[in-house]
C-alpha cells in the first residue's frame, strides 16, 4: 500500500473515531435530557395532583365548614385535653340538649334540632340513598359513550357511579346541593344534569315519595337547573283537632286571655292565641272551605267562662248572615248589612273614647273586668264590606276598623277579621293586623300578602294544602321567626249551640244599639 492510501485510512479512522465519540457524548446528553424531562413530568404531575387535591379539600371545607370545624375542634380537644375531658363534655352537652328538647321542643327544634337533623339526614340518608332513588325513578342520564366507571359528584364527595345501564354505559345522577329539615318536611336541593328539566321530577314525585317511604313528595323549581325535592316525613295534623270542652256551669272565670286554646301545631303541641295584649288583632285568610270559622269559634269556646262571666264581650259582623247567626246569642252586638256594621263599629268606638277619658293618665293598659270587659269584634268576610259595597260605606268601615286596630289594644279592644281574598285592595288595613293566619289559599302570591315577604320561601306553602284539611294553615307573627303549621280546633254545629246556651244562661246581655244611639247616630 502506498503512502497516500495509508494517509487516507488514518484520516478516515480519525474522523470515524471523532464521530463515534460525538455520538457517544450526544447520546449521553440526550439521555440526561430525557431523564430531566421525565423527572420534570413526574414533578409536574405530582404538583398538579397536589394542587387539585388541595382545591378539592378547600371546596369540601368551604362547603362543609360546619362539619370541618367540628372535626377540627374534636381532634384538637382530643390532642390537648384528652379523651376523658372530651367524653365528659360531650356527655354534658348531650344531657343539656336532651333536657332542652324535653322541656321546650319548639325552641329546641328551631335553634338546634333542625340543624342537627338536617346534617344527619344529608350525610346518612340522602347522600347514600338518593342517587339510587333517582336512578330507580328514571331521573338519571345515561351517556352511552363513556366507560362504565365515571366520577359523579354526590353531596360534594367524589365517588364512582355504581349504576349501569344494560349496555354498560355511564350514568349521571343529579347533584345534591343541600338539605334543610323542618318539623314535618325535608327540603333536598338538587342540581339537574344536562338533558333533564324540572317537569321530569314533577312526573316522578309520587315514585320518589314511595322510595323515601313517605306519604308526600313535592317538587319546587328554584332555578332553571335546580329543584327542591320536599319530603313530608310525618303529619301530626291529618286528623281533626277537638275544641276545648265547655266548663261546668258553676266554674268561675279562670281563662288566660293571652293564651286561649285554638288548636294544635305541627309539633303536636297546643296552639294558643291571645285575645288581648300584643298580637291580639288577627287577620285570617283562606279560600272557601279552608276552615276560617274553626279559627273563629275555637278560641271563643276556650273563653266561654269569661264570656259567661262578662269579662269578655263579643260583637259580630256577618255580611253573609249565616255563620255568626247560628250562635247569635253569644254576640252582644250583631250586624249584617253595611249600615248595621257601621252601627256596631260606632258603638265600639264610643266605648273606646269613654275608656280614654276615664283612664288617661292613670294607666297604660285598661284592666279587664266586668265593668270594663274585653271587647272582641269578630268580623267575618271583611272583604265584602271593605271592597264589595258602595264607596261611602266602604270608606266609613275602613276608617273605623283602622281606629280600633291602632288604638284598641291598650284599651281592651280586639279585632279579628276573616277574608277570602287577602289583597290590599280588598283589605286596605291589612298591615294593621300584627298576627295573621294563612289557611288554604288559591294562589302562591296570597301567602306573601298574608304572612309577608319571604314566607313562602321559608316553607309556608298554604297554596298546597289539601281541600280535605280544613283548618290547617300557617302562622308567622309575634315571636315566630319561621312559619308554623297549625290546625284549628273543629267546632261542630251542636257545640256552637251548646256554647250559646252556656253563655246566655249566664245572663249575657245583648247590647241594644237602637236605644243606645239617637236618631242621628249619636250616642244617647
Lowest-confidence region among 115-119, 140-144, 348-352: 140-144
pLDDT at residue 514, as a whole number = 57
In a domain, 500, yes or no: yes
Is 326 or 105 the better-scoring residue by pLDDT?
Answer: 326
When pLDDT is cut at 50, 70 and 90, the band that residue 412 belongs to is very high
Nearest to 304 by CA among 491, 132, 149: 491
In a domain, 59, yes or no: no
Statement to judge: residues 510 and 414 lie in one domain: yes
From residue 507, give the alpha-carbon distance in Å to each of 304, 305, 330, 420, 500: 13, 12, 11, 35, 11
Three-state DSSP class for residue 250: coil
Compute the distance between CA of residue 251 and CA of residue 77 in angstroms, rounded to an integer: 60
Is 165 or 468 the better-scoring residue by pLDDT?
Answer: 468
Statement to judge: residues 303 and 402 lie in one domain: yes
Statement to judge: residues 200 and 253 lie in one domain: no
Q: Which three cell numbers stand for residue 364?
A: 297604660
Compute the distance between CA of residue 237 and CA of residue 292 in angstroms, rounded to an integer: 16
- % the chain with pLDDT above 90: 31
Is 234 or 518 the better-scoring residue by pLDDT?
Answer: 234
Nearest to 423 by CA among 370, 471, 387, 376: 387
Q: Which three cell numbers stand for residue 267?
A: 309539633
- CATH number, domain containing residue 138: 3.30.980
Q: How far apart are the first and last CA of the chain?
A: 159
When pLDDT is cut at 50, 70 and 90, the band that residue 379 belongs to is very high
Q: Is pLDDT of 232 > 60?
A: yes
200, 232, 264 - which closes a domain: 232
Overall domain count for the chain: 2
Statement to judge: residues 172 and 298 lie in one domain: no
* Beta strands per DSSP E along 336-405: 374-379
In a domain, 33, yes or no: no
Length of the chain: 524
Full domain range(s) for residue 401: 241-516
232, 253, 283 - which closes a domain: 232
Statement to judge: residues 311 and 417 lie in one domain: yes
In a domain, 8, yes or no: no
Q: Which three cell numbers stand for residue 469?
A: 284539611
Statement to judge: residues 213 and 313 lie in one domain: no
When pLDDT is cut at 50, 70 and 90, the band that residue 163 belongs to is very low
Report whether 505 belongs to an annotated binding site: no
pLDDT at residue 352, as a whole number = 93
Statement to judge: residues 372 and 224 lie in one domain: no
Lowest-confidence region among 121-125, 187-191, 415-419: 121-125
HEC letters along 399-411:
HHHHHHHHHHHHH
Nearest to 311 by CA among 379, 263, 256: 256
Q: Is pLDDT of 143 > 90?
A: no
Statement to judge: residues 280 and 422 lie in one domain: yes
In this structure, are residues 401 and 429 in contact, taking their beta carbons and an 8 Å threshold?
Answer: yes
Instruction: Please give the DSSP secondary-structure letter assigned to residue 366.
Output: P
pLDDT at residue 155, as a whole number = 40
Angle between helices 205-212 and 127-136 (to 10 degrees): 140
In a domain, 323, yes or no: yes
Q: Is pLDDT of 490 > 50?
A: yes
What is the b/e burial string over 446-455, where b = at least 16 CB atoms within 10 angstroms of the residue's CB?
bbbbbbbeeb
Residues sharing a CB contact under 8 Å with residue 77, sequence separation 6 or more, in sequence order: 85, 86, 89
Instruction: Please give the DSSP secondary-structure letter assigned to residue 435.
Output: E
In this structure, are residues 415 and 281 in contact, taking their beta carbons and an 8 Å threshold?
Answer: yes
When pLDDT is cut at 50, 70 and 90, the band that residue 511 belongs to is low
Phi, psi of 382 (to 5 degrees): -60, -30
Statement to judge: residues 331 and 469 lie in one domain: yes
pLDDT in tens, 81-92: 666 666 766 677
In this structure, are residues 185 and 459 in contact, taking their beta carbons and an 8 Å threshold?
Answer: yes
In a domain, 9, yes or no: no
pLDDT at residue 165, as a whole number = 44
Statement to judge: residues 147 and 291 lie in one domain: no
- % the chain with pLDDT above 70: 78
pLDDT at residue 86, as a whole number = 60
Q: Which three cell numbers stand for residue 131?
A: 342517587
Compute the distance between CA of residue 341 and CA of residue 376 in angstroms, rounded to an integer: 14
Q: Is pLDDT of 152 > 50?
A: no
Q: Is pLDDT of 47 > 90?
A: no
Give the β-pairing of 413-419 and 270-273: unpaired
When pLDDT is cut at 50, 70 and 90, the band that residue 520 belongs to is very low
Phi, psi of 171 (to 5 degrees): -120, 125
Compute the distance between CA of residue 496 and CA of residue 296 in angstroms, rounded to an integer: 11
Mean pLDDT (the chain) is 80
232, 251, 278 - which closes a domain: 232
Handedness of CA 320, 325, 326, 327 (dihedral sign): positive
pLDDT at residue 118, as a whole number = 83
Compute the distance between CA of residue 249 and CA of residue 503 in angstroms, rounded to an integer: 9
Report whether 293 belongs to an annotated binding site: yes
When pLDDT is cut at 50, 70 and 90, the band that residue 522 belongs to is very low
Compute the distance between CA of residue 418 and CA of residue 405 in angstroms, rounded to an integer: 14
In a domain, 246, yes or no: yes
Q: Is pLDDT of 280 > 70?
A: yes
Statement to judge: residues 174 and 228 lie in one domain: yes
Report whether 361 belongs to an annotated binding site: no
Compute the distance between CA of residue 140 and CA of residue 222 in angstroms, rounded to an integer: 19
In a domain, 21, yes or no: no
Statement to judge: residues 261 and 151 lie in one domain: no
Three-state DSSP class for residue 132: helix
Report whether 287 belongs to an annotated binding site: yes
Amino acid at each position: 500500500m502506498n503512502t497516500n492510501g495509508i494517509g487516507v485510512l488514518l484520516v478516515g479512522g480519525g474522523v470515524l473515531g471523532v464521530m463515534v465519540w460525538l455520538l457517544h457524548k450526544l447520546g449521553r446528553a440526550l439521555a440526561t435530557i430525557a431523564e430531566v424531562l421525565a423527572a420534570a413530568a413526574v414533578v409536574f404531575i405530582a404538583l398538579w395532583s397536589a394542587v387539585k387535591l388541595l382545591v378539592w379539600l378547600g371546596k369540601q371545607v368551604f362547603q362543609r365548614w360546619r362539619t370541618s370545624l367540628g372535626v377540627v375542634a374534636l381532634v384538637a380537644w382530643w390532642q390537648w385535653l384528652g379523651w376523658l375531658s372530651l367524653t365528659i363534655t360531650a356527655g354534658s352537652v348531650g344531657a343539656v340538649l336532651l333536657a332542652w328538647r324535653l322541656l321546650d321542643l319548639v325552641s329546641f327544634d328551631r335553634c338546634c334540632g333542625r340543624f342537627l337533623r338536617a346534617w344527619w339526614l344529608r350525610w346518612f340518608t340522602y347522600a347514600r340513598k338518593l342517587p339510587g332513588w333517582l336512578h330507580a325513578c328514571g331521573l338519571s342520564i345515561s351517556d352511552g359513550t363513556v366507560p362504565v366507571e365515571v366520577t359523579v359528584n354526590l353531596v360534594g364527595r367524589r365517588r364512582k357511579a355504581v349504576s349501569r345501564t344494560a349496555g354498560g354505559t355511564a350514568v349521571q345522577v343529579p347533584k345534591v346541593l343541600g338539605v334543610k329539615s323542618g318539623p314535618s318536611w325535608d327540603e333536598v336541593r338538587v342540581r339537574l344534569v344536562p338533558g333533564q328539566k324540572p317537569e321530569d321530577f314533577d312526573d316522578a314525585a309520587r315514585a320518589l315519595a314511595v322510595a323515601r317511604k313517605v306519604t308526600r313528595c313535592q317538587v319546587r323549581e328554584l332555578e332553571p337547573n335546580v329543584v327542591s325535592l320536599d319530603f313530608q316525613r310525618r303529619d301530626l295534623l291529618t286528623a281533626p283537632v277537638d275544641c276545648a270542652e265547655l266548663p261546668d256551669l258553676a266554674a268561675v272565670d279562670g281563662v288566660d286571655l293571652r293564651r286561649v286554646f285554638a288548636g294544635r301545631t305541627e309539633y303536636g303541641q297546643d296552639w294558643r292565641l291571645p285575645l288581648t295584649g300584643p298580637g291580639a288583632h288577627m287577620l285570617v285568610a283562606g279560600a272557601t272551605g279552608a276552615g276560617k270559622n274553626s279559627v273563629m269559634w275555637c278560641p271563643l269556646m276556650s273563653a266561654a267562662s269569661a264570656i259567661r262571666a262578662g269579662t269578655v264581650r263579643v260583637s259580630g259582623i256577618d255580611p253573609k248572615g249565616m255563620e255568626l247567626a247560628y250562635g247569635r246569642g253569644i254576640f252582644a252586638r250583631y250586624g249584617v248589612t253595611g249600615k248595621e256594621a257601621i252601627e256596631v263599629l260606632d258603638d265600639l268606638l264610643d266605648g273606646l273614647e269613654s275608656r280614654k277619658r276615664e283612664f288617661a293618665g292613670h294607666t297604660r293598659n285598661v284592666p279587664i273586668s266586668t265593668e270594663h270587659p274585653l271587647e272582641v269584634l269578630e268580623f267575618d268576610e271583611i272583604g265584602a264590606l271593605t271592597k264589595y259595597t258602595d264607596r261611602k260605606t266602604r270608606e266609613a268601615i275602613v276608617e273605623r276598623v283602622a281606629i280600633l286596630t291602632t288604638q284598641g289594644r291598650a284599651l281592651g279592644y280586639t279585632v279579628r277579621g276573616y277574608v277570602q281574598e287577602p289583597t290590599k285592595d280588598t283589605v286596605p288595613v291589612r298591615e294593621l293586623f300584627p298576627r295573621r293566619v294563612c289557611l288554604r289559599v288559591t294562589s302562591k302570591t296570597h301567602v306573601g300578602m298574608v304572612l309577608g315577604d319571604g314566607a313562602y320561601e321559608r316553607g309556608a306553602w298554604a297554596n298546597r294544602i289539601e281541600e280535605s284539611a280544613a283548618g290547617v294553615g300557617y302562622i308567622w307573627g309575634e315571636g315566630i321567626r319561621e312559619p308554623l303549621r297549625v290546625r284549628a280546633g273543629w267546632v261542630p254545629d251542636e257545640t256552637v249551640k251548646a256554647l250559646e246556651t252556656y253563655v246566655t244562661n249566664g245572663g249575657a246581655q245583648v247590647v241594644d244599639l237602637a236605644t243606645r244611639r239617637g236618631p242621628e247616630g249619636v250616642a244617647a
